[in-house]
Amino acid sequence: MKIAIYHSSDEHSIEVGQDLSQILRENHIALDDQDPTVVITIGGDGTLLSAIQKYLPIIDRVRFVGVHTGHLGFYTDWRDYELDDLVKALKSDGCSEIGYPLLNIDVIHTDGTKANYKAINESTLRKLNGTLVADVLIGDQLFERFRGDGLCISTPTGSTAYNRSVGGAIVHPQLEAMQMAEIASINNRVFRTVGAALILAPNETVTIRPLPSYHRTYNFTADRLGILDKNVQSVHYGIAVPKVKFLKYRHTGFWNRVRNSFIGQIDEI
């Protein structure tokens, strides 16, 4: 086992990272930031998303575990005062893991070039100024002509993030589905969209094609990555083959995460 520690930039997370490094060395567990088998993130969900982006080239052979030092951690299973227990769990590792789907995203530019991205939460395409007008294809078939602020494509784990804020459904990650939610769509007697979030099967794809006559500057995001691009021809979404793998020592069940994050403690009557 080789451990990489990836922490946020705040002072407390840096101190926790230093403490964890010392405990790992005392337990003769190797540290390796370049080619780890386990990545421990210290911070919140944003820190974990950044770590996943960093280690995408080896995503098929690395597992993640999060240590929570902030206010709300949806992906993080351990607290900053549980470092000794975490290291004990690592030493008794039985390779237990749970996998979550990733989005595979291909952005095609008007000059024919292509860029590929991955996201564990969501990806959005929006206009900075004016209305996004785009054809939406499911598979090879035109589904609708969208007019509005933008579109959000999310994974099941990402369904509790921005997707939820724009009215999408919360989806259990074992379904391995993909969801498309509208961001402030225009619906009237002239312009119509489906007006609801769509949950797609794992073998289905979504393609967003902005109309050429409306080309301006687009804001494309993939998790915490944001890009401004004037030359987007289409964005193609599907479920990626590799999954993000998390250690399962004390992995909190999905619905427990949802309850803890959004509802809190319930007093029984």
* Torsion-angle region of 223 (φ positive above 0: left; ψ -120 to 50: alpha; else: beta): left
Cα 110 to Cα 211: distance, rounded to the nearest angstrom: 12
Residue 146: Cβ-neighbour burial (10 angstroms; 0-12, 13-18, 19+): buried
- Examine the residue annotation and report whether 45 is marked as an active-site residue of this protein: yes
3-state class (DSSP) for residue 25: helix
Q: Residue 199 is inside which H or E element, if any?
A: strand 198-200
Contact 57/39 with Cβ under 8 angstroms? no
Annotated catalytic residue, options 32, 33, 45, 229: 45
Q: Residue 19 is inside which H or E element, if any?
A: helix 11-26
3-state class (DSSP) for residue 88: helix
Cα 136 to Cα 146: distance, rounded to the nearest angstrom: 7
Cα 43 to Cα 267: distance, rounded to the nearest angstrom: 30
Active site members: 45
